[in-house]
Amino acid sequence: MFASAFVLGLVGLAGLAAASPVPDLPVVPRYPGTALSKGFHLVINVTDDCKDLHPSIQNTYVTSIHTGAGLALVGNSPQPQYARIFYQNGTAEEKRFGAVTTISDSGTPPFPSGLKLVKDPASETVSTAHLDAGLGSEGVGIAAFPEPYAFLTPETYAACNESLPYYQGRYFVIIKQVKLTVGENGRVNRNIPEGCAPVRLLPECTHLNDLPKGSYSSHEFAIEDRCYKDVKSIKWGGYGP
Ligand SMILES: *[C@@H]1O[C@H](CO)[C@@H](O)[C@H](O)[C@H]1NC(C)=O
Ligand SMILES: *[C@@H]1O[C@H](CO)[C@@H](O)[C@H](O)[C@H]1NC(C)=O
Ligand SMILES: *[C@@H]1O[C@H](CO)[C@@H](O)[C@H](O)[C@H]1NC(C)=O
């Protein structure tokens, strides 16, 4: 649908250009600029305003919610000091084939905790994001060129308000990942569960710290990639299509 709208747009422009003796303003898509960094925070961008949670989660930082020794779910905090530092791990070839993982270091001495998507037992399409000690899911990384925006894949991510047994049923915002399905009529179903906000997780550049001696983590394969300098300052209305 996007492709055909785009082609129509071009045809329309070409028609205009041919008919008009004065130069038309070219409709050039604009995208927010990025910088390069190995380390990044993840910032929540609610892609459908009216689905935002209350209090709003827009521009809050991805953090971790401790749920046991070496176990954590993925949550959010408005305070940058609680933002987890992430990096993509892999060789250049793994990056090229979309086979990297996304890691955050935990503990003292630091050990790797990989962003892992674990299928919800009751659902065909929904997975819950974990940040447990150990490997991350292959393919969780920053979208590559020619995608004009930088965001965590595979999409779609969703922020859901759920009660956690580990905290005696207290409610937390936790990050999930949802697979699209296409119905028999060709209609795309985004499958965002009721009460969840569809979000994009945007990388915001931050310094990837040096590791102390005796660390179990390694930054040898941390990949330098694009990220935004300050997500909350981006005025999305001025960009697109
Ligand atoms: C962030 O969300 C806004 C709507 O709130 C949307 O216009 C914009 O395209 C989103 N950014 C990205 C990179 O998807
Ligand atoms: C989450 O749900 C609980 C129970 O319905 C409610 O009290 C709380 O305000 C909700 N929090 C958010 C962020 O929506
Ligand atoms: C990081 O990537 C390298 C290269 O593929 C691999 O050897 C190493 O095990 C990875 N580390 C983690 C924590 O996944």
Q: What is the pLDDT of residues 126-137, one digit of tens each?
A: 999 999 999 999
Query: What integer pLDDT is reported at residue 21 of this predicted model?
Result: 55
Query: Which residues make Cβ contacts (< 8 Å) with residue 162, sequence separation at least 6?
Result: 171, 172, 174
**Above 80 in pLDDT, residue 68?**
yes
In a domain, 15, yes or no: no
203 CB burial (10 A radius; 0-12, 13-18, 19+): buried
In a domain, 241, yes or no: no
Q: Is the dihedral of CA 217, 220, 225, 228 positive or negative?
A: positive
Confidence category of residue 24, pLDDT binned at 50, 70, 90: low
- Strand runs labelled E in 19-110: 35-37, 39-46, 61-68, 71-77, 86-89, 101-106
In a domain, 21, yes or no: no
Cβ atoms within 10 Å of 31's Cβ, excluding its own: 12
Question: Residue whose CA is closest, atom 7 of ligand 3?
Answer: 90
Query: What integer pLDDT is reported at residue 238 of this predicted model?
Result: 86
Distance CA 160, CA 51 (A): 11
In a domain, 19, yes or no: no
Confidence category of residue 29, pLDDT binned at 50, 70, 90: confident
In a domain, 107, yes or no: yes
Which is more confidently placed, 145 or 158?
A: 158
Distance CA 184, CA 94 (A): 35
Q: Which domain holds residue 181?
A: 33-232
Residues 179-187: what's their mean pLDDT?
Answer: 91
Q: 200 CB less than 6 Å from ligand 1?
A: yes
Total structural domains within the chain:
1
In a domain, 188, yes or no: yes
Percent of the chain whose predicted confidence (pLDDT) is above 90? 82
Distance CA 226, CA 68 (A): 33
**Above 60 in pLDDT, residue 77?**
yes
**Above 60 in pLDDT, residue 214?**
yes
Question: Residue whose CA is closest, atom 12 of ligand 2?
Answer: 54
Distance CA 41, CA 218 (A): 18
The label of the residue with tokens 């305070």 reads 79
Percent of the chain whose predicted confidence (pLDDT) is above 70? 89
In a domain, 20, yes or no: no
In a domain, 238, yes or no: no
C-alpha angle 208/211/215, rounded to 5°? 135
Question: Residue whose CA is closest, atom 11 of ligand 3?
Answer: 89
Q: 123 CB less than 6 Å from ligand 2?
A: no
Distance CA 80, CA 150 (A): 20
66: which 2 tokens? 């401790």
**Above 90 in pLDDT, residue 158?**
yes
**Above 90 in pLDDT, residue 218?**
yes
Total residues belonging to the chain? 241
Please tell me the distance between residue 117's alpha carbon and the centre of ligand 1 in angstroms.
23
Whether this model's pTM surpasses 0.85:
yes
Query: What integer pLDDT is reported at residue 25 of this predicted model?
Result: 67
List beta partners, residue 174: 160
Please tell me the distance between residue 153's alpha carbon and the centre of ligand 3 in angstroms.
19
138, 127 in Cβ contact below 8 A? Answer: no
C-alpha angle 57/58/60, rounded to 5°? 70
- For the CA of 239, the nearest atom of ligand 1: 9
Query: What integer pLDDT is reported at residue 22 of this predicted model?
Result: 58
The label of the residue with tokens 């793994």 reads 94
List beta partners, residue 105: 112
Query: What integer pLDDT is reported at residue 145 of this predicted model?
Result: 87
Residues 209-215: what's their mean pLDDT?
Answer: 96
Query: Which residues make Cβ contacts (< 8 Å) with residue 85, sequence separation at least 6?
Result: 39, 40, 41, 104, 105, 206, 208, 209
Confidence category of residue 16, pLDDT binned at 50, 70, 90: very low
Mean pLDDT (the chain, rounded): 91
